[in-house]
Every structure is written in structure tokens, then in C-alpha cells.
């Protein structure tokens, strides 16, 4: 019983939905914004969901309808939480900064059939790395338990991309969190979760009690200590296509962590750790992929709460991410970071996201990003380089 209570508190106070626990006025969404959102949803409604059965995908029951429900719940949460710009992301609202990096592909360890997409050649891409806390409230201190996120955006990537609205964008995203597994297994539970977040208060406590496995997973993630995001590991948790196989991927630091926890960590100690590191020295991380073994029971594609065992298939390094010494926390660069959008579907077809969690994310990320950009009256556009910073 103790962890039910703790998990309800974690859900409510841990940042995932802090705003949902408060009563705030409705946002003034105007008719033009509503029309654009409805158009977005209609487009997704009309497009048939493609699944790759040979890569272990199967449709979830009522998948399209459940996805529309999740969209409505997230929109309702945002409308409740933000009565005026700036509207933040629904989750991962607090970022520690966007850091410039070079992403050097080193594909020697990959089987030849998997040397596709951005891993086809040993070339270097300029990249933005956005480090974040998973919660909805950007004012929650870093000392509170939370999910930590890392989103990577490669630039200068040629080829048609998967999102029809961004088909000609020259970017490729990789979106991760600091846990090997996602915390929700079934789509119907994500519908219930997003509904509880939208309603807040007792609904959240009710969700935590009626979904003990979800609560326990969140409780464990929130209990992890992060000292310096540049020295942390991040995982895709969900599966992706690479050539003829599903894969998962992760990012890990090149060296053993050196930072120590400050004696009195401030509310933004994670950003401060990154600032202090990059003020004096470069930082290095590497992207690794874990190819699927062919055993779909042991390594399911649809259930993102199952960790793929490394004994069955080891992660292999595919790219070195180098961050030169830099200052990244100027107000202008922090604002630029705020206005970026990341989604697993900013992607070449060779890196197509797989599984129900990813399929839901296709319309959700685009819709929510469109909503916050239009609410904030800032253009939603993909960066083409490091200018003007
Ligand atoms: C059904 C499952 C999920 C839903 C509905 C969801 C929803 C969202 C939404 C609405 C955003 C904000 C988008 C924006 O306004 O630009 C977001 C951001 C994010 N999500 Fe998820 N998410 C899901 C699963 C995941 C998973 C599995 C991961 C990681 C393994 C993840 C990691 C992130 C990260 C790191 C960001 C911040 C990206 C950035 O830096 O802009 N999410 N998510």
C-alpha cells in the first residue's frame, strides 16, 4: 500500500502532471487554432496505419480511436494549464539546454545489412542535443525525482522523411529517456493515464492504485539519481527499424562518470553540471544499437515495457557524439531550444519507429507541437545548422 501512495504522489508531484493537480483557467484557444488542430486530426484519421508484420508489429485493439482519445486528453491538459503564452511542452517541459555536437558515424561494428540510413556511410552530421526533465512543470527543481530525457537532432540529412508535413526537412531525430523500458505496456492504459492526468487530483490517485505495475515502474524511474546528464545513459525503450531488422538504441558516455553530487544541489543543478563541464572541456557520448535476435517472444516489438536482454544481442557502437567546449545557456539559445520540436517520426524510412507506443507518438507529437507553436505564435521549423549561435 505504501508504494501506491508514494506513486500517486510521484504522479502528482513528481512533475509528470504537477499542473494537473492544480485548478487553472481555460486557455483562450481561438477559432483559427481550433480549425488547424481539427485539420491535423482529420489528416491522421484518414491515413491508414501501416504496420510491418515481418518486423513484429501488430495493431492494438481500437488503435486509431484510442490515439484520438490520447490527443484530446493531452490537449485538454494543456488548455487547462496554460491560459497565456508561453505554452510549454506537455511533458519534458524543462530543458537543461540545447548543446551543439558533431555526430560521427562509425559503422564498422554494424552488420553490413544494417548500414543504412544515416549509418550508411562514416560521415559526420552537425547535431543539437536537448537534455530535459520529463515533467510538465518547468519550475520543479531537479532535486525531485523525474524521468530525464535526451533528444538528438541530426542536420544535413538528405532524403524524404516519414512525416508528410516534414518530408523535405533535412533532419533526423533520436528520442530517448534514462530508462531501458517504457512504463506503460498497453494502449488502453495510456488512454486511462492521459485521462487521469487531464482530470488531475483524485483521478491520478485512482489511476496509480488501479495500475500498480505502471505506478511501480514510475516509482523506480523517479528514484534514479542523475548527477550530470552528459555522463548519463539514455535509451530508446521502444523499437525502431534498421534495414531488415528491429533494433533498440541507447546513448552512453564515452568515459566513466567523473562528476560528484553537489553538497547542496540547487533547483537547476543538472544544467549547472553541464555548464561546468562544457566550460572547461569537451564531452563525448556514443550512440549504440541493439539488433533484434529474431526471437520475438524474448524481444517483443509491441510491448515497450520489456527490456531486450543483452545476453541475447549486445549493443554495438555506431556513432561518436562530440561536444566541443561551449557556452549554451544564453537566453537566446535557451529560447531557441524551447521552440524546437523533436519526434521519433522526424526520420528517414530506414529508421522507422515500430510498435504501438511509437505509432501513437506519430500524430501526438506533431499535433501537440503544432498546438504549442500556434498558441505561442512562433513558427514551427526545423533547424538547418548552428546559426545564429
Ligand atoms: C505513447 C507514448 C508517449 C506519448 C503520448 C508521449 C508524448 C509526448 C509529447 C506530447 C511530447 C511533447 C512534444 C512537443 O510538444 O514537442 C513528448 C516529448 C518527449 N518525449 Fe514522449 N511520449 C511518449 C513516449 C515516450 C517515450 C517512449 C520516450 C523515450 C524513450 C519519450 C521521450 C520524450 C522526450 C525526450 C521528449 C522531449 C523531446 C524534446 O526534447 O523536445 N516519450 N512526448
| 232 pocket-lining for ligand 1 (C-beta < 6 Å) | no
What cell numbers appear for 50 in the block?
501501416
Q: What is the pTM of this model?
A: 0.93
What cell numbers appear for 202 in the block?
483524485
Predicted confidence (pLDDT) at residue 24 exceeds the cutoff of 60: no
Q: For the chain, how many residues are written?
A: 389
> How do residues 133-175 score in pLDDT, each as one tens digit?
999 999 999 999 999 999 999 999 999 999 999 999 999 999 9
> How do residues 92-111 score in pLDDT, each as one tens digit?
999 999 999 999 999 999 99
Q: So what's the pLDDT on residue 30?
A: 72
- % of the chain beyond a pLDDT of 70: 92
What cell numbers appear for 387 in the block?
546559426
| 88 pocket-lining for ligand 1 (C-beta < 6 Å) | no
Q: So what's the pLDDT on residue 29?
A: 61
Residue 16 pLDDT grade (very low, low, confident, very high; cuts 50, 70, 90): very low
Report the nearest-CA residue for atom 23 of ligand 1.
361
Three-state DSSP state, 123: coil
Task: Give me the chain's average pLDDT, please.
Answer: 92
Q: Where are the beta strands (DSSP E) in 137-231?
A: 148-155, 171-177
Q: Where are the beta strands (DSSP E) in 115-189?
A: 124-133, 148-155, 171-177
- Å from CA of 239 to ligand 1 middle: 15
Q: So what's the pLDDT on residue 157?
A: 98
- Å from CA of 264 to ligand 1 middle: 30
Tell me the mean pLDDT in the region 78-82. Answer: 92
What cell numbers appear for 135 in the block?
515533467
> How do residues 205-254 score in pLDDT, each as one tens digit?
999 999 999 999 999 999 999 999 999 999 999 999 999 999 999 999 99
Instruction: Kindly tell me the number of DSSP H helices and DSSP E strands found in the chain.
Output: 9, 9
> How do residues 331-386 score in pLDDT, each as one tens digit?
999 999 999 999 999 999 999 999 999 999 999 999 999 999 999 999 999 999 99
Q: So what's the pLDDT on residue 50?
A: 81
In whole angstroms, what is the distance from residue 295 CA to residue 297 CA? 6
> How do residues 253-303 score in pLDDT, each as one tens digit?
999 999 999 999 999 999 999 999 999 999 999 999 999 999 999 999 999
Tell me the mean pLDDT in the region 1-15. Answer: 41
Report the nearest-CA residue for atom 22 of ligand 1.
361
Using alpha carbons only, give the angle 150, 151, 155 rounded to the nearest 5 degrees. Answer: 145
Which residue stretches of 50-118 are H helix? 63-81
Cβ–Cβ under 8 Å, residues 224 and 179: yes
Predicted confidence (pLDDT) at residue 19 exceeds the cutoff of 50: no
Tell me the mean pLDDT in the region 37-59. Answer: 85
**Which of 355, 365, 372 to mutate for ligand 1's pocket (most ligand atoms within 8 Å of CB)?**
365
Q: Locate cell 541507447: which residue?
A: 250
| Structural domains of the chain in order of their starting residue, each with its CATH number | 2-376 (2.40.180.10)
> How do residues 62-76 score in pLDDT, each as one tens digit?
999 999 999 999 999
Residue 34 pLDDT grade (very low, low, confident, very high; cuts 50, 70, 90): confident
Predicted confidence (pLDDT) at residue 325 exceeds the cutoff of 50: yes
Amino acid at each position: 500500500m505504501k508504494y501506491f501512495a508514494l506513486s500517486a504522489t510521484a504522479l502528482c508531484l513528481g512533475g509528470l502532471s504537477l499542473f494537473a493537480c492544480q485548478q487553472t483557467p481555460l486557455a483562450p484557444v481561438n477559432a483559427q487554432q481550433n480549425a488547424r488542430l481539427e485539420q491535423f486530426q482529420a489528416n491522421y484519421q484518414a491515413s491508414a496505419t501501416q504496420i510491418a508484420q515481418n518486423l513484429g508489429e501488430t495493431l492494438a485493439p481500437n488503435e486509431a480511436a484510442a490515439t484520438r482519445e490520447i490527443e484530446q486528453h493531452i490537449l485538454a491538459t494543456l488548455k487547462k494549464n496554460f491560459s497565456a503564452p508561453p505554452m510549454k511542452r506537455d511533458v519534458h517541459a524543462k530543458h537543461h539546454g540545447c548543446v551543439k555536437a558533431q555526430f560521427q558515424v562509425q559503422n564498422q561494428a554494424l552488420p553490413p545489412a544494417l548500414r543504412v540510413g544515416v549509418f550508411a556511410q562514416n560521415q559526420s552530421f552537425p547535431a543539437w542535443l536537448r537534455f530535459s526533465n520529463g515533467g510538465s512543470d518547468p519550475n520543479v527543481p531537479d532535486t525531485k525525482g523525474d524521468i530525464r530525457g535526451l533528444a538528438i537532432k541530426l542536420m544535413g540529412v538528405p532524403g524524404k522523411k516519414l512525416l508528410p508535413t516534414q518530408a523535405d526537412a533535412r533532419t533526423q531525430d533520436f528520442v530517448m529517456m534514462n530508462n531501458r523500458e517504457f512504463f506503460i505496456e498497453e494502449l488502453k492504459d495510456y488512454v486511462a493515464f492521459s485521462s487521469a492526468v487531464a482530470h488531475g487530483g483524485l483521478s491520478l490517485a485512482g489511476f496509480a492504485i488501479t495500475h500498480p505495475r505502471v505506478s511501480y515502474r514510475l516509482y523506480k524511474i523517479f528514484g534514479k539519481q542523475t548527477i550530470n546528464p552528459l555522463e548519463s545513459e539514455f535509451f530508446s525503450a521502444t523499437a525502431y527499424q534498421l534495414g531488415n531488422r528491429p533494433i533498440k538504441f541507447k546513448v552512453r558516455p564515452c568515459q566513466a562518470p567523473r562528476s560528484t553530487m553537489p553538497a547542496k544541489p540547487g533547483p537547476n543543478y543538472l544544467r549547472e553540471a553541464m555548464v561546468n563541464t562544457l566550460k572547461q572541456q569537451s564531452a563525448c557520448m556514443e550512440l549504440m544499437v541493439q539488433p533484434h535476435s529474431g526471437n520475438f517472444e524474448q524481444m517483443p516489438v509491441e510491448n515497450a515495457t520489456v527490456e531486450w536482454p543483452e545476453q541475447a544481442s549486445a549493443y554495438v557502437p555506431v556513432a561518436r557524439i562530440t561536444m566541443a567546449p561551449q557556452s549554451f545557456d544564453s537566453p537566446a539559445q535557451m529560447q531557441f531550444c524551447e521552440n524546437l520540436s523533436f519526434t521519433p517520426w522526424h526520420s528517414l524510412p530506414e529508421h522507422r519507429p515500430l510498435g504501438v507506443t511509437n505509432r501513437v507518438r506519430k500524430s501526438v507529437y506533431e499535433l501537440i507541437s503544432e498546438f504549442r507553436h500556434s498558441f505561442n505564435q512562433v513558427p514551427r521549423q526545423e533547424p538547418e545548422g548552428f546559426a545564429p549561435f
